[in-house]
Amino acid sequence: MAVTENRSHLASPSTPATNQRIRIINTKTAHDDLLVIRVLPQSNKVVTVVGDKRRCAEKFYDEDLGLNINLHNITTFDLSDKVHSDTFDKDDGSISYINSEDITLQNMMRTGFRKPFIVRAESGKPPGLRVPDSNFTVKDVERLVSSTRKIDVMDVSTQLSLQMTMHQWAKYFDSDKRDTLLNVISLEISQTPLCKLISPPDFVRELDWVETAWPPSLKVAQTFGNNSLTKMKYPKVQKYCLMSVRGSYTDFHVDFGGTSVWYHIVAGAKVFWLIPPTEENLSKFVKWTLAGKQDDIFFGDLVDKCYRVNLYVGDTFFLPGGWIHAVYTPRKSLVFGGKFLHSYNIIGQLQVTAIEDVTKVEARYLYPYFVQMVWFVVEKYRRHLKHIEVHGKGNTVLLEQEVEGLNVLISRLEESKTFQSAIPIQIRNPKLLLQELKDLLLHAEIDTICGDFSEPIISRERNTLLDSARKLHNIRLISTDRPFKMSPVVSSDSDVSEDEDVLLLPIIEEKEEEEKSTITELVEVIVSDKFTNPSSSRKETPLNEDNNVTVEISNKELWQAFCKHGTEMIIIKAGRRLFPVLKFKVSGLDPNSKYVFLVDIVPADDCWYRFCNCEWIVAGEGDHIPPKRMYVHPESPNTGAHWMKEILSFHKLKIAHNVSDAGSNMIVNSMHRYQPRVHIVQCDDIYKIPWCAFRTMVFTETEFFAVTAYQSEKITQLKIEHNPFAKGFRAGTATQAAEERYNSKNINVTIVLDSYGTAPFLAAGGAIHTSGDHIQHTQHNTTKSNLLTHMQMVEQFQGS
């Protein structure tokens, strides 16, 4: 995927590769400074190597030394000139250097974030920005994103991308001998352990459409760290790690979708050439790109104003969408950054997508789900403007550039086939939506002043309910394996059908007028698309009219105790139960309606792990995903009253790693990480499951590693301590038990709590059993025969 510096998508495919052999080229300087290569065209013999003319000693090596490299299309202009020429040292206020405390959301709203600015290291980090310190190395990156993660690497000489593993890259990066210049500028690291160390500046999060307009429920469904489009649930462009060796250069380009960029230098240095996105400049840029003369012409020379900025360790750089830029790496560098779309430069963003159309950029180099995103944005504006109509504006402001942008966007959505070809299924009536928004904008009061406490019309604020509920209850919603109907441009039909286990497609039920005030909004109504009953013509039955269903994990503390050390679950061929057991407290169901409860266990990511030095580390790419099964609670279907009466326990659920297992066990791979999910289906017959409304919940503390033997001693100890079946392994238990048995002869009667901790009965055993989290719940009314029936049903369900 093309990012910050990537112009590979704009490189003309028609440009012939010269494949010249050149002489090298080694500049060793005390300052670790510039290495610039110059190839004379039409020559396969003479190569000029230009170092930093002021500080580098030039050295020439003969090709006989074995240092030859094949380079294609190296620039014929002298990049060193461009790095040092005064031509680009303009100071007309277009680029500003500002203090970190001046970076506020309101300032960005006022200015629309149209000009680049830099926060120097001395000024501190912009509010909210979190990045690793300068000791952080590429090895650390490798450790945290996985050695086997395949990454796109740009060959600097061709500006085209190739793939290698993170391990290969780290080795390349740290080695002294390189025969090609490679550059990593498109490693997106969300959903990897590295992600936790990175936070974009506050204002970015407040503006970013992914945060403000993309359905959060779809975003949280993303579990994979890689950027595979088939698994992507949201535009995964928020956190990038860029690693460049000295001499890397990315030619002039515009970031996809007209995204704006934040960019923090953790190590090394960067040189940017920046060109404002005026009509004239963009037009020249398109011509330059289509002409395929990138190697001969430095685009900065073609325009009136091209600014150069030098960035050093600790600097943070902000580049607005649409700016044409090139990047050079004078020192080996490590950079973290991210991209975002926002509401105050909609026209600029659309302009860039038009350029991408003209220059025929490949789909994989575009902003993912751009079309879907703008539909969600429009819907969000409609909803909030309507809300404002009724409830008043509060602190929110609707600014002129915003309205102007939205009106242009509406026209595009009305007219453009591209924009109409990929409308998310959540947008029920696109025409009506656009009409409504037009009317709302027509009558909306436009603000001219943006005060210090003003807030955007659409903001993250409106989602904090979801965030806080998620934190509080540790619930997150898993909706689907595919967020919406994909644009044919992005994904083919076969792409959809290859995911056999895609059962659910979400329909987000949002009440028009109100924001919901309970955590039930975490739970969406999900309707199976694949299994939609043709006769029912996609009528989604709400799970509950008042949408008030809540599910809590009842043995949360125990799960958390395990989770803290990385829960492990033993798997054997015949199937082993989970401990702790999945137990839930359900409320808010309609007491008289019937429900089915199901559990499935899905991979938490696509990695396999190793337990090394008391911690789980990513060891490679995950094995193939075994066939997905659903475990139906044996008491299903049953009334809401029944489910709410007491704790709902899935203690009979077993996991196994025997793929040929014909039983009802859930199949998992050893040394992989899994996440159980609970589904509530409102239906009175198990056969009707595919056509009924779902709700799906995930409790993150129930995540576990599947193992064939325990890895962590702490986990073993916790299991022994809490699982009654493992009582025999508790310290001193054997002798204690013997003593107690002996003593019991004198006591005669001991009390044992039954499985529900109620109605004690007399037992012949010796020990006194106490109630607690670890008590195994039995089935009140479940006999072997009806369990069997259910299992047969599950089989049928799986087979259907």
Partner DNA sequence: TCTCACACCTTTGAAGTGG
Partner DNA sequence: CCACTTCAAAGGTGTGAGA
Contacting range for DNA; rule: CB under 7 A; set: 12-20, 456-464, 660-668, 724-732: 724-732
Nearer CB in complex with DNA: 357/713? 713
Contacting range for DNA; rule: CB under 7 A; set: 54-62, 249-257, 303-311, 569-577: 569-577
Nearer CB in complex with DNA: 455/635? 635
Sign of CA dihedral 694, 699, 705, 707: negative
Sign of CA dihedral 116, 120, 121, 123: negative
Tokens of residue 657, six digits = 């790693």
**Residue 783 found at the interface with DNA (CB under 7 A):** yes
**Residue 657 found at the interface with DNA (CB under 7 A):** yes
- Binder of DNA out of 710, 757, 773, 797 (CB under 7 A): 710
Tokens of residue 277, six digits = 């996105």
**Which residues from 742-771 bind DNA, rule CB under 7 A?**
755, 761-765, 767, 769
Whether the upstream peptide bond of residue 637 has omega within 30° of 0, thus cis, is yes
Q: How far is the CB of 790 from DNA (least distance, A)?
A: 14
Q: Is 607 helix (H, G, I), strand (E, B) or coil?
A: strand
DSSP state of 3: -
**Residue 778 found at the interface with DNA (CB under 7 A):** yes
Contacting range for DNA; rule: CB under 7 A; set: 57-65, 471-479, 694-702, 705-713: 705-713
Q: How far is the CB of 105 from DNA (least distance, A)?
A: 47
Q: How far is the CB of 601 from DNA (least distance, A)?
A: 16
**Residue 729 found at the interface with DNA (CB under 7 A):** yes
**Residue 716 found at the interface with DNA (CB under 7 A):** yes
Nearer CB in complex with DNA: 41/627? 627
| Beta strand 117-119 pairing with 96-97 | parallel
Whether the upstream peptide bond of residue 506 has omega within 30° of 0, thus cis, is no
- CA gap 47, 63 in Å, rounded: 11
Render 528-587 in DSSP notation, one character per residue: ESTT--GGGTT-PPPS-TT---EEEETTHHHHHHHHHH--EEE--TT-EE-SS--EEEEE
**Residue 720 found at the interface with DNA (CB under 7 A):** yes
User: Would you give the distance in Å from CA 217 to the centre of its chain?
Assistant: 12
**Residue 709 found at the interface with DNA (CB under 7 A):** yes
Query: Which strand (E) or helix (H) includes residue 703?
Result: none
Nearer CB in complex with DNA: 214/631? 631
Nearer CB in complex with DNA: 472/709? 709
Task: Specify whether the CB–CB gap between 253 and 326 falls below 8 A.
Answer: yes
Listed in sequence order, the residues at least 6 apart from 425 whose beta carbon sits closer than 8 Å to its beta carbon are 484, 485, 505, 507
Q: How far is the CB of 779 from DNA (least distance, A)?
A: 6
Q: Which conformational region is residue 437 in: left (phi greater than 0), alpha (psi within -120 to 50 degrees), or beta?
A: alpha
DSSP state of 445: P
Whether the upstream peptide bond of residue 775 has omega within 30° of 0, thus cis, is no
- Binder of DNA out of 724, 771, 792, 798 (CB under 7 A): 724
Nearer CB in complex with DNA: 385/607? 607
**Residue 611 found at the interface with DNA (CB under 7 A):** yes
Q: How far is the CB of 710 from DNA (least distance, A)?
A: 5
**Residue 708 found at the interface with DNA (CB under 7 A):** yes
Q: How far is the CB of 558 from DNA (least distance, A)?
A: 13
Nearer CB in complex with DNA: 358/788? 788
Tokens of residue 751, six digits = 């009390």
- Binder of DNA out of 100, 407, 733, 750 (CB under 7 A): 733
Binding mask 671-700 for DNA (x = CB under 7 A): x-----------------------------
Cα–Cα distances in angstroms (integers) from residue 288 to residues 87, 292, 366, in the given order: 20, 7, 20
Tokens of residue 392, six digits = 């008043």
Nearer CB in complex with DNA: 117/616? 616
- Binder of DNA out of 262, 370, 419, 579 (CB under 7 A): 579
Nearer CB in complex with DNA: 272/608? 608
**Residue 625 found at the interface with DNA (CB under 7 A):** no
Q: How far is the CB of 228 from DNA (least distance, A)?
A: 25
Q: Number of helices (H) and strands (E), helices first, in the chain?
A: 20, 38
**Residue 577 found at the interface with DNA (CB under 7 A):** yes
- Binder of DNA out of 143, 727, 744, 757 (CB under 7 A): 727
Contacting range for DNA; rule: CB under 7 A; set: 319-327, 435-443, 530-538, 776-784: 776-784
Q: How far is the CB of 772 from DNA (least distance, A)?
A: 11
Task: Specify whether the CB–CB gap between 671 and 634 falls below 8 A.
Answer: no
Task: Specify whether the CB–CB gap between 242 and 334 falls below 8 A.
Answer: yes
Nearer CB in complex with DNA: 725/742? 725
**Residue 598 found at the interface with DNA (CB under 7 A):** no
Cα–Cα distances in angstroms (integers) from residue 680 to residues 243, 620, 687, 694, 708, in the given order: 45, 34, 14, 6, 31
Task: Specify whether the CB–CB gap between 318 and 262 falls below 8 A.
Answer: yes
- CA gap 671, 684 in Å, rounded: 38
**Residue 573 found at the interface with DNA (CB under 7 A):** yes
Q: How far is the CB of 647 from DNA (least distance, A)?
A: 14
- Binder of DNA out of 60, 531, 725, 742 (CB under 7 A): 725
- CA gap 309, 325 in Å, rounded: 11
Q: How far is the CB of 570 from DNA (least distance, A)?
A: 5
Q: How far is the CB of 723 from DNA (least distance, A)?
A: 5
**Residue 653 found at the interface with DNA (CB under 7 A):** no
> Bridge partners of 333?
244
Secondary structure of 637-695 in the HEC alphabet?
A: CEEHHHHHHCCEECCCCEEECCCCCCCCCEECCCCEEEEEEEEEEECCCHHHHHHCCEE
Task: Specify whether the CB–CB gap between 665 and 676 falls below 8 A.
Answer: no
Q: What are phi and psi of 799, to 5 degrees?
A: -75, -20
Q: How far is the CB of 191 from DNA (least distance, A)?
A: 22
| Beta strand 615-621 pairing with 694-699 | unpaired
**Residue 780 found at the interface with DNA (CB under 7 A):** no
Q: How far is the CB of 709 from DNA (least distance, A)?
A: 5
- Binder of DNA out of 726, 744, 773, 795 (CB under 7 A): 726
- CA gap 433, 453 in Å, rounded: 30
Tokens 């079946």 sit on residue: 725
DSSP state of 440: H
Q: How far is the CB of 567 from DNA (least distance, A)?
A: 11
**Which residues from 443-472 bind DNA, rule CB under 7 A?**
none
Q: Is 98 helix (H, G, I), strand (E, B) or coil?
A: coil
Neighbours of 787 (CB within 10 A): 15
Q: How far is the CB of 569 from DNA (least distance, A)?
A: 9
Nearer CB in complex with DNA: 442/662? 662
**Which residues from 77-106 bind DNA, rule CB under 7 A?**
none
Nearer CB in complex with DNA: 206/568? 568
- Binder of DNA out of 131, 254, 553, 775 (CB under 7 A): 775
Nearer CB in complex with DNA: 594/654? 654
How many positions of this chain bind DNA (CB under 7 A)? 43
- Binder of DNA out of 264, 380, 383, 719 (CB under 7 A): 719
Residues that bind DNA (CB under 7 A): 570, 572-573, 576-577, 579, 610-611, 657, 670-671, 707-711, 716, 719-720, 723-729, 733-734, 737, 755, 761-765, 767, 769, 775-776, 778-779, 783-784
